[in-house]
Amino acid sequence: MKHTLIAIGFALFLCVPSWAADRIRIGYSSISGSYLGLWVARDAGLFAREGLDDQMILIPSGSQLAQVVIAGEVDIAALNGSSAMAAALQGADLKVVGNTTNRLIFSIYVRPEIKTIEALKGKKIGVTRFGSATDIAARYALRKHNLDPQKDVNILQMGAMSSIMGGLQGGSIDAGLVSPPTLFAVEKFGFKELVNVTDMDIAFPNPSLVVQGDIMKKKPDLVDKFLRAYARAIHRARTDREMTFRSIAKYTKIADSFVLQKAYDLYVGKVLEKAPYINMAGMRNALDDLAKTVPAAKDAKPEQFIDMGYLDRLEKSGLLKEL
């Protein structure tokens, strides 16, 4: 009997893999092409290739996702850099380790009867949540056109990008901030682009890849593996169009090939960084915008919110040159 138990135990031992994948919880804050690298990394098995057992979690608000990171409920989060810096200014131990996109990629779409930016006075404009990238983009665009976002319009929180589209269709809002591929779907429903924020070429961390300090201390390898998988995913997106189309369709629930093509051409062709590089001018813009409502941001410097060590190691690993 003793020998039988030993034999069974040895057989079970042989069935256990010689390595165990590291569990990683990845949060992202919007259904937008800016998160395409995360989707492709998961769908193409690139996180698994780095020995990561990944779980993707959508929390459709940058400010809410920042709180989830602080609580330790996700390991790495992709959210607008402004929300991350706002949390850090309030004492949270968070660092930006990379940016997937360094521009605001949005447009203001309106009901067809609204012909000019001045006609937005007194109208309702939908954003996802206050402090989100949609909210920041709306206020940038309005100020650029001499409208006061506090007085001249009513900015409403809709909760999610899909809810902004629904609000336009249902008439609860007159205008909304949308990003591709939702933007292209909204256009097909007959709504008109009034302001193209993307063309304003505003440098901005949207989104940033954010990690809590405790994770960086205890699991630095986790972050390194994540960034390697992400870099491979961007390369895969550039070289495997059909697979990338499938990922975009899966997460956005959009099957229209025309919309998928336009989203792919914009993000893969023009917007997404080839590696998660950080644009310091964009970080500075985010701080300047925060300073309008958060006094502590006035004396802050972008460098205090960033840990460049992970990007440096990614560069030195030779992976980027290989890709």
What pLDDT, in 10s, does the model give residues 188-244? 899 999 999 999 989 999 999 999 999 999 999 999 999 999 999 999 999 999 999
With tokens 């193409």, the residue in question is 44
254: Cβ–Cβ under 8 A, 6 or more apart, which residues?
181, 182, 185, 248, 260
pLDDT at 4 exceeding the cut of 80: no
CA dist., res. 29 & res. 64, Å (int) = 9
DSSP letters along 299-322, please?
A: G--GGGGB-THHHHHHHHTTHHHH
Under the banding of pLDDT at 50, 70 and 90, the label for residue 161 is: confident
Question: Among the CATH numbers 3.90.1660.10, 3.30.70.1090, 2.60.40.10, 3.40.190.10, which is that of 20-103+204-322?
Answer: 3.40.190.10
Q: Is the alpha carbon torsion for 74, 80, 84, 86 positive or negative?
A: negative
Question: Among the CATH numbers 3.40.190.10, 3.40.50.261, 3.40.50.300, 3.20.10.10, which is that of 107-200?
Answer: 3.40.190.10
Q: Which two tokens stand for residue 12?
A: 């079970």
pLDDT at 57: 95
Region 179-195 average pLDDT:
91
pLDDT at 21: 80
pLDDT at 101 exceeding the cut of 80: yes
What pLDDT, in 10s, does the model give residues 251-302? 998 888 988 999 999 999 889 998 999 999 999 999 999 998 899 999 999 9
Under the banding of pLDDT at 50, 70 and 90, the label for residue 5 is: very low
What are the domain boundaries of the chain? 20-103+204-322, 107-200
Under the banding of pLDDT at 50, 70 and 90, the label for residue 19 is: low
Confidence (pTM): 0.86
pLDDT at 62: 83
Under the banding of pLDDT at 50, 70 and 90, the label for residue 15 is: very low
Question: 20-103+204-322 and 107-200 share one CATH topology?
Answer: yes
Under the banding of pLDDT at 50, 70 and 90, the label for residue 27 is: very high
* SS3 (DSSP) at 204: coil
Report the percent of the chain where pLDDT is more than 70: 94
Q: Which of 99, 195, 182, 86 is nearest to 139 (CA)?
A: 195
Q: Is the alpha carbon torsion for 128, 133, 136, 138 positive or negative?
A: negative
CA distances from 107 to 193, 201, 241, 270 (A): 7, 12, 25, 16
**Spatial strand order in the sheet of 192-196:** 154-157, 124-127, 175-178, 107-110, 192-196
For residue 288, give the DSSP letter.
Answer: H
Tell me if 96 sits within 8 A of 307, measured CB to CB. yes
CA dist., res. 129 & res. 181, Å (int) = 19
pLDDT at 132: 86
Long-range contacts of 290-293 (CB under 8 A, 24+ apart): 290/82, 290/85, 290/86, 290/89
